[in-house]
Amino acid sequence: MNDTRVIQWRPSAGRAEQLMLLFHGVGDRAEGLAPLAERLRQAFPQAVVMSPDGFAPADGGPHGARQWFSLQGVTEQNRPERVQAVLPALEAWVRAAQQASGVGPAATALVGFSQGAICALELAQAEDGLAGRVLAFAGRYATLPLHAPRHTTLHLFHGAEDPVIPVRYARVAMQRLAELQGDATIDIAEGVGHELPPALVDCAIHRLRTHIPHRTWAAALGAVPALAERGVED
């Protein structure tokens, strides 16, 4: 992979069965998602978990803080362009992580918080099937999709009192994905702001363990060829 600083955790024994890639919010670093990584490792002991630093220094943040794209002068009009600019490098990083771990796309989950969730959602939209799952905490689309991914399941998690990215963005995204017959879920926690509370992390683990993707049902019914790879849902 490139020279991006990455914190990673690997199974203590046996082969890797899942790959979980964690993308932090603006002004944070890879270790900021270490508590989330530990919970995922407990739930999925055969998973490789990687948390990279954002690719750029954070605007005006403390020394060492990182971001995925700049928020200086960001508007609804220019946000999509800024997100799109980072996607090629992020896609290359994901593919390198898959190669290094030996885990394929179907068993890969992109897990993002805030700005990291924006990037994860937009990357899955741009590269359908790059990952089997997206877990988007306190995020949003830069641009609402015109079509839904067919090989990626999207899980949205949001605090009802989020003052940074209001929960309406998650609700609107879920409505659009439902209209497009996308494979998506949403969990909203009352009394929660712009954060990663244990309750929503527990919801995410429950979704990973119990949600059977639409494409898996279709394959079982003979509508599409069965996927050869094991997914995160296994």
Residues annotated as catalytic are: 114, 162, 194
| Residue 130 near residue 94, CB atoms below 8 Å | yes
CA angle centred on 48, ends 46 and 52, rounded to 5°: 160
Q: DSSP class of residue 28?
A: B
Helices (H) and strands (E) in the chain, counts: 6, 9
Listed in order, strand segments (DSSP E) in 84-124 are 108-113
| Residue 140 near residue 173, CB atoms below 8 Å | yes
| Residue 133 near residue 183, CB atoms below 8 Å | no
CA angle centred on 195, ends 20 and 84, rounded to 5°: 60
| Residue 187 near residue 156, CB atoms below 8 Å | yes
